[in-house]
Structure 1
Amino acid sequence: MKGRGGVENAAFEPTTPDLGGRRGANHAGAGADAEAPAVEAAEEGPCGWGSCTPKALQLCNTPEGYLAAYSLLAIFQGIVVNGLVNISISTIERRYELNSSLTGLVSASYDIAFCVLSLFVSFFGERGHKPRWLAFSAFVLGLGSLVFSLPHFSSGKYHYGAKLEDTCQISGTSTANFTCSANTKSSLSNYLYVFILGQLLLGVGGTPLYTLGTAFIDDSVPKHKSCLYIGIGYAMSLLGPAIGYVLGGQLLTVYIDIKIPESTQMDQDDPRWLGAWWIGFLACFFAIWCLIIPFSCFPKYLPGTAKIQAEKISETHNDGSEALVETKNIGKSFRDFPLALLVLLKNPVLMSLIIASTSESLVATGFATFLPKFIENQFGKTSSFSATLGGVVLVPAAALGQVISGILISKYKMDCRTIIKFMIATCSVAFLLSTVFLIAKCGNEPFAGVSETYNGTGTLRNLTAPCNVNCRCLRSRYYPVCGRDEVQYFSPCFAGCTSYLQNNMKKTYYNCSCIGKLQRENISEDFLYEAVPGKCPTRCKYLPLFLVFFFFTVVFTFMAVTPTTVAILRCVPDKQRSFALGVQSVILRLLGTIPGPILFGVAIDNSCILWDIDECRTRGACLVYDNERMAYLLMSISAACKIITIIFVIIAVFLYKPPHPSPTVSQKDSEMVSAV
């Protein structure tokens, strides 16, 4: 075949005619003329915009240059979607009066949009200009980040509430009279729909990134390097959540409206404190839009792509699908969509791998959303520290797993069957390590009226007891204090405290009728205080053990992610690789990442033992969880999903049939073609 200038290009010369041969092979006996190669040399253009192709830009017109741009977009996408959104969940719940089930719906909205568009984007984008699709991706991702931050600017200043007299007010003393009024009911929960819209836009923007963007990497590099490049790209995408967790955790230490009103004295230990969750989204909006420029200058194919494609050896599952796709030239028009989809759905190896990855994604997305909340409640840490700790441990472990698997597969040049066997090993180790939830679980610290009575008086799950019945305490004002008896109380009022002293914004409470004697005998009765603000320090020492086990659980879990993608790309016909990733994305999100946060949110809410209830008796966010029940529920979900993953990966190994090198089309191929 000759190029436009009449120069013969060896990359387009026909190679072996067998189905098990090279990707560009013709299929003798299939009843069709030789098809032109998928990649034309003329489409391997320079880097630039039209006739403007500066020489400096040509240095970036390589797989490494594209990988750098892809990684940057993946990093910022990860910062927003898997970092800032997850770390802001607790703050958004409190600021806009949402429960965990609703915020789980917010998290799932990203996947809903991804799911709806994935098939169409991957089908039409397979033969289109993939880098320009990623420029569109950057535009919509930036817009979604902007929309997600808008509720802060339209909801007005944060009304943290007047600093009520939180001590016990004996009968006859004047106090605020709080009554339920429909007119005073907040409409902040309506901002739920704005958050959902922002997540939907983020989902639209993320669709081309992980379907067409990944396939473009596989197009542009030799087969044995593909796993390494994809692994690096995926690892960089996981660097985003790490940055998002750390950045978001630090932003939560900044007051939500930047400047704390002078009329109040409030610090991060105050339960009314909310951090500036919105700043990160606004910054990412500007950064992501800057990436539109580099993606808009890449050509349709990088230089050398045609030669690389011609040299690749097919590992398509031998079910006749490759002969069908080549013979019918499936994918050129929308009329081919149903047939192209049917070909993939009938590929048993592909479907087994998709179900396995779907099961893993359900757990991964659930933990990514609620891991900070788990650490906060299980080990008694602050929300900002829990978020930072979760990001520092979780995300580097995931990135390490991606890189390790990419290096191993590239170094040993594993074929498709060996890659799937490798996945069985990593998933099995991850399953064994996930038992950390049974080992490192923590019980609840003593909480008067919740987990124990008031020194033998009152009843469980009832905050009112004889020692505070005359205090007229507000159930809607949660201000925990830790008594000298090492028991936590809902508020100074429920602890029966009638007086306090304040020094450097720190209060100490005295004359508390509900607080018992000291539990530690070596402390003098002449104690300096009876209660201090905040939760009691946890006596659970399992946090280091949990973090170590969980780190390696994540490493081995994510060691299967890149191999799964590579195995999917190899077991389907060459012209259906992007579409296969699109099909995976749809099923993965329908059955995995969409129900994942919702399922975890319901499980966590199901372990709640103390809800926030306002003056109208309306239930809000959960205040206290049953730690052991939470651990058992999350362990059950995780174990069940990992068992499903292992089963279907084993099925994929047994069902996979590599193509047979043969100069003629096999009988099975001919039957499939003639049947269509």
Structure 2
Amino acid sequence: MGETEKSIETHSIRCLSKVKMFLLALTCAYVSKTLSGSYMNSMLTQIERQFNIPTSLVGFINGSFEIGNLLLIIFVSYFGTKLHRPIMIGVGCTVMGLGCFLISLPHFLMDQYEYESTVSVSSNLSSNSFLCTEYGTETSRPTQDPAECVKEVKSFMWVYVLMGNIIRGMGETPIMPLGISYIEDFSKSENSPLYIGFIETGTIIGPLIGLLLASFCANLYVDMGSVNTDDLTITPTDTRWVGAWWFGFLICAGVNVLTAIPFFFLPKTLPKEGLEDNPDIIKNDKEEKHREELKKKKQGITKDFLPFMKSLSCNPIYMLFILISVLQFNAFINMFSFMPKYLEQQYGKSTAEAIFLIGIYNLPPICIGYIVGGLIMKKFKITVKQAAHIAFWLSIFEYLLYFLSFLMTCDNSPVAGITTSYEGIQQELYVGNKVLADCNKGCNCPTKIWDPVCGDNDLSYMSACLAGCETSVGTGLSMVFQNCSCIQTSGNASAVLGLCYKGYDCSLMLQYFLILSTVCSFIYSLAAIPGYMVLLRCIKSEEKSLGVGVHAFCTRIFAGIPAPIYFGALVDSTCLHWGTLKCGKPGACRLYDATNFRHIYLGLPAGVRGLSFLPAFLTLTLLSKRHLPGENDSAGTELADTKVTEKENECKDGHKNSKVLNDEELKTKL
């Protein structure tokens, strides 16, 4: 008898350790996939500048991840439960690593990056050919050579990034639906929210590491090692700067491949957590699973696919939850993808600074919110209906706080001829650039090249030539331009490279914005786990994996793919000055209208999120009248309510309540 107890105890420890091992491996997988995902989102601006493409095309590249995910999500979600789930997750991590490597490949196939400038690093600076002279040369101006256009515009190296992102999306497919369903199948129902909270924490740790890595790489010049950075005339705050975006993708590729290894050593199935210490239950569980497998072989692997889909589509709570998720994802994908660009254009920060601030201010509170939300669900044994109310009212409160961000604004950068006149007076935008004035008409300056300088009068100019500067001293970033006829000041009328600083008030507004985003991130993440449990518990256990997959499919096809594209096109519409390629064609945008950019960035997500609260309120109404198949009721009185509810909910899924009754009978026997 003692040996039997000892063997049972050993078996229990072994099974429990495997559940925890899978939990740890899955958390690491979430870290690796969100690491590469957040790094990709953070490097969108760098990719835009590297390939000189508009924001709408960058949005399409970003959405290509969802395209790759869509190709497999339904099939993986359905067939995955019938195959070896841990091995499929391991294969997916390996494929993600391959995709990350493919994204970095263009750097090794392209020539060195050349930014538009009136000051050429390779030219003889002492000639001052880029300054205001009556007989200025045309060497610094864009050529109209069609061959140059074919070389630049039709060099589709960005296709490698597109294909790599698609492959990365395909590799990410099995991780969420198969991992969540595996945890739900083999863990206690009261432990499931806490486990999912830990897993979701991985989705915060990964982006935190990814953002720090992106901040580090954005400060490194793209051609580091092959270019003398002392000769550069741009800094990381310049909109022409391109960081070493490719370097981080190589790191992400290695991390994803390493993460895949543990999954190849985990079992296909495990005993239900909490039932491992009873050999009779273990034996009955194995026999039941064996009978189910034989039944599936006889029926065919796809015979229950259509009934499952029919049952899911007839579940109003599930369908409303999908609608809510689609609307919410449309808002948050846009906000997260374009937040670095927003901080750059609105508050004058460099890409590296913007990414670092996002990681420090936003991700830790989200991580804490996920853990606290999971602990609350476990500690107080929150029911699905209570969880839905918690998620709804917390989201409403956070949504109202969000509107304070409209007050934390900065004005447009004062650029002569674009946002202000040469006298420093604010002028109407979108009426055409008036970069030529009486003070620079005789300078023979290029009017399209973006090479900004900041004058002593705190006014920026598109180039030293357009500022009317006649002489220069120093080289590289220490260059100072003097005798500038357009700079009306009592001093030396000099200018330095770069846009002018936006001022202390703008920096203060940035601090307020970041503090508000910290509070909002915590409140929203606190509601995330209760909200996600509504999804898991509103569908039957045998449909869980497919249900999670269909949910992911819908959010990707209606939010993940179109949102970055239409949002990028709207952002492009606020561009005030486009960069210029060698052939004269427009490249990436250099300066945006900060006011209109702010209205789109903050206003559009606010409107979309506002719409999502209508189906959310309807969901609460339905939940108050229904009994969910995944909801565990400990009180016997609930059985009577179940019978009443059975008559009210005959939408072709009447087996809901019989499932609950079976669960109650099993608990009585135990």
TM-score scaled by length of structure 1 = 0.82
Q: Establish whether residue 622 from structure 1 lines up as the match of residue 589 from structure 2.
A: yes
CA distance in 2, matches of 1:308, 1:515: 81
Corresponding residue SS for 1:211: helix
1:606 CA drift (Å): 1.9
Structure 1 unaligned spans of 5+: 1-6, 8-40, 48-54, 311-326, 518-524
Report how many aligned residue pairs link the two structures.
599
Match of 2:192 in 1: 226
1:102 CA drift (Å): 0.5
Q: Establish whether residue 672 from structure 1 lines up as the match of residue 652 from structure 2.
A: yes
Which residue identity does 1:658 align to in structure 2? Answer: H
> CA RMSD for the aligned pairs?
3.1
Which residue identity does 1:255 align to in structure 2? Answer: Y
Q: Establish whether residue 508 from structure 1 lines up as the match of residue 480 from structure 2.
A: yes
Segment of structure 1 superposing worse, 287-296 or 656-665: 656-665
CA distance in 2, matches of 1:536, 1:80: 34
Contact 2:314 2:652 in 1 (8 A): no
1:331 CA drift (Å): 9.4
Corresponding residue SS for 1:413: coil
Structure 1 residues 598 and 558: CA distance shift in structure 2, 3 A:
farther
Match of 1:100 in 2: 55
Match of 2:107 in 1: 152
Corresponding residue SS for 2:454: strand
Structure 1 residues 106 and 345: CA distance shift in structure 2, 3 A:
same
Match of 1:183 in 2: 147
Structure 1 residues 60 and 305: CA distance shift in structure 2, 3 A:
closer
Correspondence for 2:438 among 466, 481, 498: 466
Correspondence for 1:360 among 321, 328, 350: 328
Match of 1:532 in 2: 496
Q: Establish whether residue 586 from structure 1 lines up as the match of residue 550 from structure 2.
A: no
Equivalence map 1:250-269=2 (5 Å): 250-262=216-228, 265-266=231-232, 269=235
Match of 2:66 in 1: 111
Correspondence for 1:172 among 114, 129, 135: 135
Equivalence map 1:593-608=2 (5 Å): 593-608=560-575
Q: Establish whether residue 640 from structure 1 lines up as the match of residue 640 from structure 2.
A: no
Which residue identity does 1:203 align to in structure 2? Answer: G
Structure 1 residues 309 and 620: CA distance shift in structure 2, 3 A:
farther
Structure 1 residues 498 and 212: CA distance shift in structure 2, 3 A:
same
Correspondence for 2:420 among 436, 448, 452: 452
Equivalence map 1:126-137=2 (5 Å): 126-137=81-92
1:258 CA drift (Å): 2.0
Match of 1:568 in 2: 535
Structure 1 residues 384 and 267: CA distance shift in structure 2, 3 A:
farther
Identity of aligned residues (%): 26
Q: Establish whether residue 407 from structure 1 lines up as the match of residue 407 from structure 2.
A: no
1:472 CA drift (Å): 2.4
Match of 2:658 in 1: none
Equivalence map 1:227-626=2 (5 Å): 227-262=193-228, 265-266=231-232, 269=235, 271=238, 272-305=240-273, 307=275, 333-455=301-423, 461-502=433-474, 505-517=477-489, 525-527=490-492, 530-539=494-503, 540=506, 541-614=508-581, 616-626=583-593
1:563 CA drift (Å): 2.3
Which residue identity does 1:285 align to in structure 2? Answer: A
Structure 1 residues 60 and 282: CA distance shift in structure 2, 3 A:
farther
Which residue identity does 2:19 align to in structure 1? Answer: P
Match of 2:161 in 1: 195
Equivalence map 1:56-75=2 (5 Å): 61-75=17-31
Structure 1 residues 187 and 451: CA distance shift in structure 2, 3 A:
closer
1:670 CA drift (Å): 7.9
Which residue identity does 1:66 align to in structure 2? Answer: F
1:199 CA drift (Å): 1.0
Corresponding residue SS for 1:661: helix
CA distance in 2, matches of 1:581, 1:474: 56
Match of 1:16 in 2: none
1:442 CA drift (Å): 1.4
Segment of structure 1 superposing worse, 575-584 or 178-187: 178-187
Correspondence for 2:639 among 654, 661, 667: 661
CA distance in 2, matches of 1:182, 1:605: 25
Structure 1 residues 535 and 416: CA distance shift in structure 2, 3 A:
same
Q: Establish whether residue 651 from structure 1 lines up as the match of residue 618 from structure 2.
A: yes
1:560 CA drift (Å): 3.1
Match of 1:50 in 2: none
Structure 2 unaligned spans of 5+: 279-294, 629-637, 656-670
Contact 1:116 1:586 in 2 (8 A): no
1:262 CA drift (Å): 4.2
1:363 CA drift (Å): 1.6
Corresponding residue SS for 2:390: helix
Contact 1:484 1:530 in 2 (8 A): yes
Corresponding residue SS for 2:104: helix
Structure 1 residues 562 and 630: CA distance shift in structure 2, 3 A:
same
Which residue identity does 2:355 align to in structure 1? Answer: A
Segment of structure 1 superposing worse, 559-568 or 530-539: 559-568
Corresponding residue SS for 1:110: helix
CA distance in 2, matches of 1:331, 1:392: 53
CA distance in 1, matches of 2:367, 2:575: 33
CA distance in 1, matches of 2:214, 2:446: 32
CA distance in 2, matches of 1:464, 1:547: 39
Structure 1 residues 343 and 175: CA distance shift in structure 2, 3 A:
same
CA distance in 1, matches of 2:356, 2:129: 31
CA distance in 1, matches of 2:63, 2:31: 20
1:400 CA drift (Å): 2.5
1:358 CA drift (Å): 1.7
1:593 CA drift (Å): 2.0
1:367 CA drift (Å): 1.6
Contact 1:607 1:626 in 2 (8 A): yes
Contact 2:334 2:563 in 1 (8 A): yes
Which residue identity does 2:391 align to in structure 1? Answer: M
1:616 CA drift (Å): 4.3
